């Protein structure tokens, strides 16, 4: 492979009770649900099908991300504090409709987060992550295991868009997105790959 052919792979953590309820989960260290664990195990095949080349694996320190990496078969993951989710400040644990009762029309990408991170701060953090991993892409693939909103910011910044354009890249729990190059231009190769769940033992066929 030439340098431009190595890929940056994003893996969102599996389902948690708060993600299932669509509650903004930043600092809160929620564990995976049983379904979230099954999703993470299912992601193993998606990653295997990508035929990763000696990947560098970085993960958010939150247990939902670390455990997802383990269940997905990503060995040797290195914790990177920059991969934590957007800090939602006073909106931690709230849903978007609950926040919109206070701030009509609010979204994480277009509104303010009192007590939390601004879009500019999150964008700088994403740029710092990319600056760290881009040199690695000259020799191998890189996998980043993290969170929904921050992964969407990473996609936007990879594509050289403003942070607000992360709103256009929804990511499901345990979904995989592959970033790479086309004619030396950064691009999204595949997005939001959701692996089918393995049938449970004893389940009706």
Over the stretch 184-196, which tens digit does the pLDDT of each residue have? 899 999 999 998 8
Q: Which long-range contacts (CB under 8 A, 24 or more apart) does 121-126 make?
A: 122/86, 122/149, 122/150, 122/153, 122/163, 123/153, 123/157, 123/162, 123/163, 125/82, 125/150, 126/150, 126/153, 126/154, 126/156, 126/157, 126/163
Taking only the tens place, the pLDDT of each residue in 75-109 is 999 999 999 999 999 999 999 999 999 999 999 99
In the beta sheet, which residues pair with residue 95?
none
Of 145, 138, 88, 81, the C-alpha closest to 113 is 88
Taking only the tens place, the pLDDT of each residue in 161-176 is 999 999 999 999 999 9
What stretch of H or E contains 148? helix 148-158
pLDDT score of 195: 85
Is 85 one of the catalytic residues?
Answer: yes
Do the beta carbons of residue 5 and residue 140 sit within 8 Å? Answer: no
Measured CA to CA, the distance from residue 66 to residue 2 in angstroms comes to 30
Task: Print burial letters for 58-80: b (CB count within 10 Å at least 16), e (below 16).
Answer: bbbebebbbbbbbbbebeebeeb
β-pairing verdict for 78-79 and 8-12: unpaired
Q: Compute the half-sphere exposure of residue 187: CA atoms within 13 Å on the CB side of its CA.
A: 9
pLDDT score of 109: 98
| Whether residue 1 has pLDDT greater than 60 | no
pLDDT score of 8: 98
In the beta sheet, which residues pair with residue 180?
187
Reported confidence tier of residue 155, pLDDT bands at 50, 70, 90? very high
pTM across the whole model: 0.94
CATH topology for 3-180?
A: Rossmann fold (3.40.50)
Reported confidence tier of residue 201, pLDDT bands at 50, 70, 90? very low
Locus of tokens 């953590």? 13
Q: What is the mean pLDDT of residues 142-153?
A: 98
Q: Which of 15, 37, 67, 85 is catalytic?
A: 85
Task: Compute the Cα dihedral for 165, 27, 15, 80 and give only its sign.
Answer: positive
Measured CA to CA, the distance from residue 82 to residue 150 in angstroms comes to 10
The ranges assigned to domains in the chain are: 3-180
Q: Which of 13, 24, 147, 149 is catalytic?
A: 13
Taking only the tens place, the pLDDT of each residue in 31-80 is 999 999 999 999 999 999 999 989 999 999 999 999 999 999 999 999 99
Taking only the tens place, the pLDDT of each residue in 7-31 is 999 999 999 999 999 999 999 999 9
Of 106, 192, 123, the C-alpha closest to 158 is 123
């Amino acid at each position: 492979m030439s340098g431009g052919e190595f890929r940056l792979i994003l893996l969102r953590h599996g389902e948690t009770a708060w993600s299932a309820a669509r509650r903004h989960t930043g600092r809160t260290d929620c564990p995976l649900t049983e379904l979230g664990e099954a999703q993470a195990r299912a992601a193993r095949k998606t990653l295997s099908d990508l035929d990763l080349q000696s990947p560098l694996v970085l993960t958010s320190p939150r247990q939902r991300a670390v455990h997802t990496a383990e269940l997905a078969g990503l060995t040797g993951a290195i914790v990177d504090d920059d991969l934590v989710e957007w800090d939602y400040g006073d909106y931690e644990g709230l849903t978007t409709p609950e926040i919109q009762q206070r701030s009509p029309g609010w979204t994480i990408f277009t509104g303010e987060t009192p007590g939390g991170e601004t879009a500019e701060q999150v964008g700088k953090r994403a740029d710092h992550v990319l600056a760290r991993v881009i040199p690695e892409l000259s020799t191998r693939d890189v996998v980043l295991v993290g969170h929904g909103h921050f992964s969407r910011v990473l996609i936007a910044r990879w594509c050289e868009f403003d942070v607000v354009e992360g709103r256009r890249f929804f990511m499901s729990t345990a979904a995989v997105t592959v970033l790479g190059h086309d004619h030396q231009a950064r691009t999204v190769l595949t997005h939001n790959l959701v692996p089918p769940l393995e049938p449970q033992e004893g389940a009706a066929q």
